[in-house]
Structure 1
Amino acid sequence: MGDRLPRVRVAAVQAAPVFLDREATVEKACRLIQEAGRAGAQVVAFPEGFVPGHPLWYHFHPATGERSREYAARLFANAVTVPGPETEALGQACKRVGAWAVVGVCEKQRGTTGTLYNSLVFLSPCGRVEHVHRKLTPTVGERLVHAPGRPVGLRVLDTAVGRLSGLICGENSNPLAVFVLLSQHTMIHVASWPNLPGRGMLPRSERALLAGRAFAFTAKAFVVNACGTVDDRMRGMLAYTDEDCAFLACPELAGGSSVVGPSGEVVAGPLGPEEAVLYAEVDLERCVYERTVHDFAGHYNRPDVFELRVRSRPPQMLRWVEEGRTADGPEAAPAVWDAGHIEQVTERSRT
């Protein structure tokens, strides 16, 4: 009989957030997780920055303008700490229906007053946060509010429904990031996309399909493209000129969620701009079938020729340097104190 991989029902949530309202958006996300789970979905994928919304205002307002700075402050106020009350609520929704959810959030670093990350939170059917990926390189206007992520997020989870991974927007077309995940044998990959592209770019559905099909064909994996969309609340908050209103009303720019198979074929979708949940049943045996021809993590590669190194050491923001001393005088090399050492010394001085 032999080994056999499962068939898995996946769902791509295509929806608009309750823009810059964390609590209302989490409530909406919980409803959508439960709706998808009751429809049989075992993996539920959400758009980029779904909670509490993506910093789209930089498409329409000057970066230093009053409206942009006001919205940036609201984004921080409504950002999510991980773990925190919002991830607890999302996890409980997953637990109620026994599904995985991969949710795009604007993550607030605990204990800071300005550091944000563009993150994907992986929540298990047990209701726990199992993994967080922070977007490595913020794109265009995101750089004004989001800090770069670290490579620790480039991880594939081994789950009962297959090996699960995720990347955010343009990362899905980064060849090195793609290779890191395919080398860990991803089978179901969530590609999380924002509500709409910038002016002059391809429509969202075309961009997501292009990157999704390339990822799927290279990794021999299923790709769930979860794309955001725009509602009337967002149009009213974002538009500055009549031209902005016309752009935001253009139906082919938003949405476009889809599911792509391991040979690059479109399994489901793409959707139009409307709010909807897209479902597909995927047979993970297809990953094995396609990898018998091209397995870039195995027999169809040359590790004696190619090697990719990923730097995992975290950067040190603060380093205090003093001249070390021996019994005979100053040492040639300075002693370096990192922030943790300073904290220990400070605590000892208090006692």
Structure 2
Amino acid sequence: MLPRFKAAAVHAAPVFLDSWATTEKAIAIIREAARAGAELIAFPETYIPAFPVWAAMWPPIDNHDLFVRMAEQSVLADGPEVARLCAEARALGVTVSIGISERSAVSVGGLWNSNLLIGETGEILIHHRKLVPTFYEKLVWSSGDGAGLKVAETRQGRIGGLICGENTNPLARFALMAQGEQVHISSWPPMWPTRRPAGGGNFDNVAANRIRASAHCFEAKVFGIVTAGYMDQAMRAFLTERDRTIADVIDQTPRAASFFVDPTGSVFGDGLQDEEGIAYAEIDLNRCVEPKQFHDVVGYYNRFDIFGVTVDRSRLTPARFRDADLPIAQVQDAAILAVDADAGSNGQGRDYRS
């Protein structure tokens, strides 16, 4: 029998641009969800310290101070905020997925849109950096890499996840399907403004996110947890007090929703959109089996002799260093080992010896 468990999709606002206060709020939410019986708890995109919605509101020449504050409040993947979350997951014996704005250890202005999957032992199972920032996100975050395109074996099954628009990328999704994914976590911002209300045709993120989540769950025959951010009054006030002309944009842009999707692509369980809270659903992975008879795109329902997919899971770094006192042979071997270690177990390490 495959696992059965209760999952939680957190539909909550951060303490806007305050990483430590948001971490403490996340701890309180994790405890509440655990008391309710949730074993897998998923937070929205860049929950710590916030989603930079201002990048959609004003040109970058007006946002320098906000970028500086975002950089100050972004967190290291091995920093104290993440350590606090890992300790809490271990203490409660739960699995936690959380979005962070990740700060680079070697660049005071280098940021990534990242997501961490923390296991019940407190270990970081997956550290994923968004492959490509979407639209105006490019003004804040750098492109990530393939190192986090992994599926983790947990007590709740095989868990994978993608951030926001990555769920539109068929190859990123297939990379997770090909690793036997059973639960897919997709994380989203609280809103996604693309036009002023007078122009009409603003992006309907609720419909778009449902389509993407349902498509993945139907194709992969997996369960989906859709977890979106929430804009509270404090966040709205921060933005509108800076520029009252954008109040109409904020108020008439659709708010994102958090919900669950089953392996047929149908929405089930709790759903939240216009109020802050935690949505819950009971997940039974045994329901992933029957639909595989119809289409199994990583099994019999594909042609691997025709289609070939290669995924490079190397972690990108700005430079590789050689110490002057090392003999040439040791330098070469060290470089090879470093590349192989970055590539993980996927066999994509490269030999740079000439």
Q: TM-score range by the shorter chain?
A: 0.7 to 0.9
Shift of 1:269: 4.1
Percent identity over the alignment is 36
Paired AA for residue 176 in structure 1:
L
Which residue of structure 1 lines up, in the alignment, with residue 112 of structure 2? Answer: 117
SS in structure 2 of the partner of residue 80 of structure 1: coil
Q: Is contact 1:116-1:145 (8 Å) kept?
A: yes
Residue of structure 2 in register with 1:324 after alignment: none
Query: What TM-score do the two structures reach when normalised by structure 1?
Result: 0.87
Inter-CA distance 140–129: structure 2 relative to 1 (3 Å threshold): same
Given that 2:99 and 2:116 are in contact with CA atoms closer than 8 Å, whether structure 1 keeps it comes out as: yes
| SS at structure 2 position matched to 1:64 | helix
Which runs of structure 2 are paired with 1:67-86 in the superposition (5 Å)?
68-86=63-81
| Separation in structure 2 between the aligned mates of residue 50 and residue 129 of structure 1, nearest angstrom | 17
Q: Distance in 1 between matches of 2:289 and 2:50?
A: 37
Counterpart in 1 of 2:321? 340
Counterpart in the other structure of 1:299: 300
Structure 1 gaps, min length 5: 319-338
- When the two structures are aligned, how many residues end up with a matched partner? 320
CA deviation profile, 1:62-85 (whole Å, cap 9, x unmatched): 1111xx111111111111111121
Shift of residue 313, structure 1, vs aligned partner: 4.5
Distance 1:230 1:83 in 2: 27
CA contact (8 A) 2:53 2:192 kept: no
Give, in angstroms, the shift of residue 271 of structure 1.
1.7
Q: 1:17: which partner in 2?
A: 14
Q: How far apart in 2 are the matches of 1:204 and 1:11?
A: 21
Paired position in structure 1 for 2:131:
136
In the other structure, the counterpart of 1:8 is 5
More moved, 101-110 vs 197-206: 197-206
Residues 223-273 of structure 1: CA deviation (Å, up to 9, x unaligned): 1000111011111222355452123234x7123101000110111243222
Equivalent position SS for 2:98: strand
Residue of structure 1 in register with 2:255 after alignment: 254
Contact 1:205-1:270 within 8 A present in 2 as well = no
CA distance in 2, matches of 1:124, 1:307: 32
Query: Residue type of the partner of 1:231?
Result: D
8 Å contact 1:47–1:228 — kept in the other structure? yes
SS in 2 for 1:249: helix
Residue of structure 2 in register with 1:284 after alignment: 285
Query: Any idea what SS the aligned residue of 1:71 has?
Result: helix
Contact 1:79–1:105 (CA under 8 A) maintained in structure 2: yes
Q: Alpha carbons of 1:162 and 1:313: their partners in 2 closer, same or farther (altered >3 Å)?
A: closer
Residues 346, 86 of structure 1: CA spacing in aligned structure 2 closer, same or farther, 3 A cutoff? farther
5+ unaligned residues in a row in structure 2: which ranges? 196-201, 328-354
Residue matched to 1:174: 169
Partners in 1 of 2:221 and 2:265 — Cα distance? 8
1:191 counterpart = 2:186? yes
Q: In 2, are the aligned partners of 1:88 and 1:128 still within 8 Å (CA)?
A: no
Cα RMSD after superposing both structures: 1.8
Q: Measure, in 1, the Cα distance between the counterparts of 2:248 and 2:118.
A: 37
Contact 2:147/2:315, CA 8 A, preserved across alignment? no
Question: Contact 1:34/1:96 (CA < 8 Å) preserved in 2?
Answer: no
Deviation of the 1:314 alpha carbon: 5.2
Q: Is the 8 A contact 1:38 1:97 kept in 2?
A: no
Q: 1:314 to 1:228 in 2, by over 3 A?
A: closer
Taking structure 2 as the reference length, what is the TM-score of the superposition?
0.86
Distance in 2 (CA, whole Å) between partners of 1:123 and 1:316 is: 23
- Any conservation in 2 of the 1:189–1:222 contact (CA below 8 Å)? yes
SS in 1 for 2:274: coil
Residue type at the aligned position of 1:257: S
Match of 1:244 among 243, 246, 267: 246
Secondary structure at the counterpart of residue 294 of structure 2 = coil
Matches within 5 A, 1:157-172: 157-172=152-167
Larger Rg: 1 or 2? 1
Corresponding residue number in structure 2 for 1:61: 58
Aligned partner of 1:220 in structure 2 is 221
Do residues 43 (structure 1) and 40 (structure 2) align? yes
Do the aligned residues in 2 keep the contact of 1:259 with 1:267 (CA within 8 Å)?
yes
Letter in 2 for 1:255: A
**Per-residue deviation at 1:195?**
1.1
